[in-house]
Amino acid sequence: MKLLAIPPSLNIRFVTVLLLAMGLSTPGIGEITSLDSGNIDDILNNAGVALVNFYADWCRFSQMLHPIFEEASNVVREEFPNTKQVVFARVDCDQHSDIAQRYRITKYPTLKLFRNGMMMKREYRGQRSVVAIADFIRQQQVDPVKEIHSLEEINALDRSKRNIIAYFETKDSEHYHTYEKVANILRDDCTFLGAFGTVSESERFSGDNIIFKPVGESAPDMIYLSSLNNFDLSFAWAQDKCVPLVREITFENGEELTEEGIPFLILFHVKEDTESLEKFQHEVARQLISEKGSINFLHADCDKFRHPLLHIQKTPADCPVIAIDSFRHMYVFSNFKDIEFPGMLRQFVLDLHSGKLHREFHHGPDPTDITPGQEDTAGEVASSPPESSFQKLQPSETRYTILKRERDEL
């Protein structure tokens, strides 16, 4: 029996249809904007939402993502035809290493989300598929401000979350547009609500206003006192309220926190032990506010993070415990109760920055720190500090696959 020969063009068409069904290819040319140092600021600043693919041509995962990214762009463009509402863009990091360095791109491909030119903390880490990427963009288009229809709803707010409530005469105002822009950027950190017209009238005795309701039933409200039209002032105020000085680290946000690239000062505490957490928060604010940009202040559930505790020869029974993870080694604070002694917690952090903690682990106490009767041990070499545990929450070498990577536990 003679077999029919299939023309090469039909072979290609069949493969294309098959790949499309799998979400791995796209017909035509996707609407992807190539960014360079000359156009990046203009394009991102004028985009409501921009999803940017930072890639390298030699990376096979980058090559696999290209057709998926293009097809997702086509799908999204059909739903959101306004070219400034949603932008899909890409950066060749080999050709534009200055841009890669600017946004701290170290692995390829990396998908970063921008709003009005501002890069969001949380990059896209979902499945590398057309459906998942399109769904992610749809979620970004959901109104970040929940409208209040009755002031009674405020009494039913979840006070375990940070809530910002705005009272406006109308939605069609510069005040509201500025508030909405702030809410879009901080939507993952706070709950934003808005009351309008007659619903908000009783709260607008001196005009439109915004208040912050902190966590806790008894926590007093805080009022925004600066210009409602000024985005920079509004954003700075809301960010200060929505992003706490001491954040909780979990397995879900650990990768994001490690990508900030600065060491951790961590309080390990039993979840129910709120008293120790409050003391830690108070002392961090009192002693370490000036170090905010050089170290992350975190708290962690002792039970969930047993493994890092074992690294420093502690168990949940020893909590509360304070430690520094430098992404190279871990160092333990002498005694939790010592945080209330003036300057001790601050000195612990300064000793990390100066290299003293690492030096003393290897070579014993510095000569000026030797206590009477300890002189004979000054020259002894101490044991090496425990290796970093939280470094393991950084993106793995196998992170960039078509399917979402399962998180390995510490």
Model pLDDT, residue 380: 44
| Residue 402 falls inside a structural domain | no
Model pLDDT, residue 278: 93
| Residue 134 falls inside a structural domain | yes
374 shares a domain with 253 = yes
| Tokens, residue 62 | 């980058």
Distance CA 219, CA 190 (A): 16
Model pLDDT, residue 372: 46
- Pairwise pLDDT comparison (30 vs 337), residue with the higher score: 337
Q: What is the CATH number of the domain that holds 281?
A: 3.40.30.10
378 shares a domain with 251 = yes
In angstroms, the Cα distances linking 298 to 189, 225, 264 are 15, 29, 7
389 shares a domain with 256 = yes
| Residue 307 falls inside a structural domain | yes
Burial annotation 141-172 (CB, 10 A radius, 16+ → b, else e): eeebbeebeeeeeeeeeeeeebbbbbbbbeee
Model pLDDT, residue 368: 58
Instruction: HSE, CB side, 13 Å, CA atoms: give it for residue 145.
Output: 22
**CB count, 10 Å around CB of 228?**
20
Model pLDDT, residue 256: 80
Last residue of a domain, one of 197, 220, 242: 242
| Residue 75 falls inside a structural domain | yes
Three-state DSSP state, 284: helix
Model pLDDT, residue 9: 42
Distance CA 234, CA 228 (A): 7
**CB count, 10 Å around CB of 211?**
16
Three-state DSSP state, 2: coil
21 shares a domain with 120 = yes
| Residue 275 falls inside a structural domain | yes
Model pLDDT, residue 405: 41
Model pLDDT, residue 258: 85
Model pLDDT, residue 388: 81
Alpha helices in 220-343 (DSSP H): 231-242, 254-258, 274-287, 306-311
Q: Is the Cα dihedral 148, 154, 155, 160 positive or negative?
A: positive
- Taking only the tens place, the pLDDT of each residue in 112-132 is 999 989 998 778 888 999 999
256 shares a domain with 306 = yes
Last residue of a domain, one of 140, 169, 199: 140
- Taking only the tens place, the pLDDT of each residue in 181-196 is 999 999 988 999 999 9
Distance CA 255, CA 392 (A): 9
331 shares a domain with 199 = no
Q: What is the CA radius of gyration of the chain?
A: 26
For the chain, give the number of residues: 410
- Of the listed ranges 34-48, 115-129, 201-215, 303-317, the least confidently predicted one is 115-129
Most confident among 157-161, 216-220, 248-252, 318-322 (mean pLDDT): 318-322
Model pLDDT, residue 395: 58
Q: What is the mean pLDDT of residues 76-96?
A: 93
Q: With pLDDT > 70 as the criterion, what percentage of the chain qualifies? A: 82
| Residue 159 falls inside a structural domain | yes
383 shares a domain with 310 = yes
> In 35-174, which ranges are E strands?
49-55, 86-92, 110-115, 118-119, 145-148, 163-168
Model pLDDT, residue 13: 41
Distance CA 42, CA 86 (A): 14
169 shares a domain with 199 = yes
pLDDT band at residue 382 using 50, 70 and 90 as cut-offs: very low
pLDDT band at residue 29 using 50, 70 and 90 as cut-offs: very low
Q: With pLDDT > 90 as the criterion, what percentage of the chain qualifies? A: 61
- Taking only the tens place, the pLDDT of each residue in 324-364 is 999 889 999 999 999 989 999 999 999 999 988 888 776 66
Residues 6+ apart with CB under 8 A from 78: none
* Mean per-residue pLDDT of the chain: 84
225 shares a domain with 203 = yes
- Name the domain count of the chain: 3
In angstroms, the Cα distances linking 47 to 23, 27, 79 are 26, 25, 16
In angstroms, the Cα distances linking 398 to 35, 91, 345, 401, 403 are 27, 21, 37, 7, 11
323 shares a domain with 256 = yes
| Residue 373 falls inside a structural domain | yes
Domain hosting 265: range is: 246-393
Distance CA 184, CA 192 (A): 9
- Taking only the tens place, the pLDDT of each residue in 252-286 is 888 888 877 789 999 999 999 999 999 999 999 99
Distance CA 403, CA 128 (A): 6
